[in-house]
Every structure is written in structure tokens, then in C-alpha cells.
Amino acid sequence: SPHRNSNASMPAKDRVKEKGPVVREATINLHKRTYKVQNKKKAPRAVKMIKVFAQKHMGTSDVRVDVKLNKAVWSQGVKNPPTRLRIRMARMRNEDEDAKEKMYTLVTHVPVPTFKKLLNKTVEEQ
């Protein structure tokens, strides 16, 4: 029998199309992802968890973290990454012809005054 998530068992209209470029904004709770992690590994783990979060949400295995986002994670030192961060994930076409994947995700930091009442949303390009 086909796998539960394979496209073969679905009608043609429900099959997964080729993923195109898209930009999404989300709030990531780093506290729950770095809780019970050894102090000197908290910020590195937070960066890894942002990558995992972006992989899951954008469906690309190639995730690149922006320098400013990395600085935001490390801003309070190795032991105390921010509890939450607002991030913008942009799925883009890979310009390299010999790249393994057609798409990659660039994750950037979005500074916000408060995290209250913010939802995950798709951003329309200007």
C-alpha cells in the first residue's frame, strides 16, 4: 500500500504542486525549545531550533540564518537567549545551477515591541 503522505493515492487536484517563492512571518518561542538545555549550549541550540522550525514551516532542508537574527539570539549571551523572537521566513529560488535543492529558506529577524496578538501570516511582497 502507498505511504499515507504520498501523492499517489490522492486525486490529481490535491497533489502537492512545486513549491514557489513565498514569505511568511511567525513568532517562535525559544524558551520551550531551550528549556532544560545545558547553559553553555542554549544560544547554539536556539539557532538550531530556528532552523528546524523554518524547515518544518517552509518545506526546505536548506535554511540560512541571517546575521542580524543570529545577533538577536546571542544578544543576551550564551545562557539567556530571548524567550520569543519574531522571524520572517522567505523561501527563494536557488541561483546555483548545481544546487541539490531548487529552493532555500532565508530566515531574518523582525523587531517588534510586543508579541501580544501577533499571528503567523503570509507576507505579500511590495
The pLDDT value given to residue 19: 78
Q: What is the pTM of this model?
A: 0.82
The pLDDT value given to residue 90: 94
The pLDDT value given to residue 123: 83
**Alpha-carbon span 61 to 51, nearest angstrom:** 9
Point out which residues pair with 85 in neighbouring strands: 28
Cell of 77: 549571551
**Alpha-carbon span 50 to 65, nearest angstrom:** 8
The pLDDT value given to residue 76: 96
Which class for 21: exposed (0-12), middle (13-18), buried (19 or more C-beta within 10 A)?
Answer: exposed
The pLDDT value given to residue 4: 59
pLDDT in tens, the chain (126 residues): 455 555 655 555 554 556 789 999 999 999 999 999 999 999 999 999 999 999 999 999 999 999 999 999 999 999 999 999 999 999 999 887 777 888 999 999 999 999 998 888 888 765
**DSSP letters for 16-82:** PPPP--EEEEEEEESHHHHTT--GGGHHHHHHHHHHHHHHHHH--S-EEE-HHHHHHHHTT-SS---
**Alpha-carbon span 11 to 15, nearest angstrom:** 7
